[in-house]
Copies of this chain bind each other. A is one copy, B any other.
Amino acid sequence: MTMISKDVLEKDNSARESALRQDYDHLGEQLARRSIAIDEVKARVSAYGVAVPSWGVGTGGTRFARFPGAGEPRHIFDKLEDCGVIQQLTRATPAVSLHIPWDKDDPKALLAKAEELGLTFDAMNSNTFQDQDGQEKSYKFGSLSHTDAATRAQAVEHNLECIEIGKAIGSKALTIWIGDGSNFPGQANFTRQFERYLGAAKQIYAALPGDWRLFTEHKMYEPAFYSTVVQDWGTNYMIAQELGDQAYCLVDLGHHAPNVNIEMIVARLIQFGKLGGFHFNDSKYGDDDLDTGSIDPYRLFLVFNELVDAETRRAPGFNPAHMLDQSHNVTDPIESLMVSAMEVQRAYAQALLVDRKALEGFQESNDALMATGTLKTAFRTDVEPILAMARLEQGAAIDPVATYRASGYRAKVAGIRPAVSGAGGGIV
């Protein structure tokens, strides 16, 4: 089943193919001068995928307001269809990451729908930062680190349920992000709180299937505004060490203090065998959850420079999971996710172009100017022809946004899915 008609796709592609081939050929010549085989780069880009979060296809919001768009998905099956569009047009997003309980449904139906759309399921995400109807204990004052043992038990139980659902749909990882922390100095005892967290996390870890990985995610602040239990990569690393070999640290690009060198954190976690993967997005201020690469594309490239460096020197146990995690407040989420997946591929392709042998030489001789110039040469290469050709050859769109708009998909689902009211936000 394809969400976008092949006619629309082919028509749009055929109008762009000739220029693409010219650009691809010329870029091939340029890269050949640098001793790079363009087809090899294209092959690696084609093989590269980033997971889409199920919640990403709905319009996001802030504590002040949410302004839904037309055709908001009603449930996980609508969400999967939207994800199917993204994968069909980009061939960059083969997997979907579910959030429980938001996406809870019959595993068989989920699997069938995914198969129909050519999708698989990535890491499972638990939710202990919100209260749900019918839930006995409230997470107002924390979940896995709550002072109350019964609340911690409820949160552990929920994570175990996520693992069970994941097993039924072929997932191989659980991602835990909690909002636990405090809003006032003294509200929580940092040490006791972290001890409780570790105790609860160990219970979850104990239930992890042998071929699964556990990802824990750090975040500096929000929703807690004075302290957060898993506040930075240092604490996250402690957790991964305490839990064991299947536990890894997840890096969300928007979860750090101002000015922090994120690519260095990535390098450290790789070096010590604890990089689990990424939540890609971009940010200017806090956890803005903006589209990947939209604010600082060079930083994204520098992160990928570390990843390709680790690939190149075959860092032991290096196998990071890649997922987008964004909040689309003012764009069509499908468009933002397509563009963001392509930005991730772009950064990867650029990082593949780095002349690593030359770079190593400049580093050894402390030729800072030429070393950084080596990165810049790769970064400023316009690799769009490589990405587009990879898409074309896989039956996807040369220009996914143009094809998507031409297809009228949004209007079509808006006719089926009811309009959603956006009044209100969390603040009132």
Taking Cβ atoms with an 8 Å cutoff, the residues of A that contact B are 19, 22-23, 26, 29-30, 33, 55, 58, 60-67, 102, 129-133, 138-141, 147, 179, 182-192, 194-195, 220-223, 225-227, 231-235, 237-238, 256-261, 263-265, 267-268, 270-272, 283-286, 288-291, 294-299, 302, 305-306, 309, 327, 329-332, 335-336, 339, 346, 359-360, 362-366, 368-376, 379-382, 384, 401, 421-428
Candidates B26, B63, B65, B182; contact of A368 at CB < 8 Å: B182
Contact call B234/A233, Cβ cutoff below 8 A: yes
Candidates B184, B195, B268; contact of A372 at CB < 8 Å: B184
- Closest chain-B Cβ to A261's Cβ sits at a distance in Å of 5
CA distance A221 to B184 in the complex (A): 23
Q: Which residues of B are found within 8 Å of A141, using beta-carbon distances? A: 330, 366
Q: Given the known inter-chain contacts A131-B422, A330-B140, please indicate yes or no for A288 contacting B225, CB distance below 8 A.
A: yes
Residue of chain B at shortest CB distance from A25:
B26
Contact call B67/A267, Cβ cutoff below 8 A: no
Residue of chain B at shortest CB distance from A222:
B62
Q: Which residues of B are found within 8 Å of A380, using beta-carbon distances? A: 346, 382, 384
Residue of chain B at shortest CB distance from A360:
B189
Residue of chain B at shortest CB distance from A270:
B191
- Closest chain-B Cβ to A154's Cβ sits at a distance in Å of 15
- Closest chain-B Cβ to A37's Cβ sits at a distance in Å of 18
Contact call A425/B426, Cβ cutoff below 8 A: yes
- Closest chain-B Cβ to A356's Cβ sits at a distance in Å of 10
Contact call A58/B428, Cβ cutoff below 8 A: yes
Number of copies: 4
Q: Which residues of B are found within 8 Å of A327, using beta-carbon distances? A: 63, 427
CA distance A376 to B347 in the complex (A): 14
Residue of chain B at shortest CB distance from A268:
B235
Contact call B271/A188, Cβ cutoff below 8 A: no
Residue of chain B at shortest CB distance from A257:
B257
Contact call A132/B290, Cβ cutoff below 8 A: no
Contact call B426/A65, Cβ cutoff below 8 A: yes
Q: Which residues of B are found within 8 Å of A384, using beta-carbon distances? A: 380
Q: List 9 A-B contacts (CB under 8 A).
A: A60-B426, A185-B305, A187-B363, A188-B363, A231-B264, A286-B286, A297-B376, A335-B369, A380-B382
- For the complex with contacts A182-B330, A222-B286, A380-B382, 6 further pairs of A-B residues with Cβ separation under 8 Å are A186-B359, A186-B374, A225-B289, A226-B288, A257-B258, A291-B372
CA distance A154 to B260 in the complex (A): 31
Q: Which residues of B are found within 8 Å of A289, using beta-carbon distances? A: 225
Contact call B183/A329, Cβ cutoff below 8 A: yes
Residue of chain B at shortest CB distance from A67:
B140
Q: Given the known inter-chain contacts A258-B258, A272-B238, A423-B132, please indicate yes or no for A187 contacting B65, CB distance below 8 A.
A: no
Contact call A294/B231, Cβ cutoff below 8 A: no
CA distance A55 to B425 in the complex (A): 13
Q: Which residues of B are found within 8 Å of A30, using beta-carbon distances? A: 23
Candidates B29, B261, B332, B425; contact of A226 at CB < 8 Å: B261
Q: Which residues of B are found within 8 Å of A296, using beta-carbon distances? A: 296, 298-299
- Closest chain-B Cβ to A252's Cβ sits at a distance in Å of 14
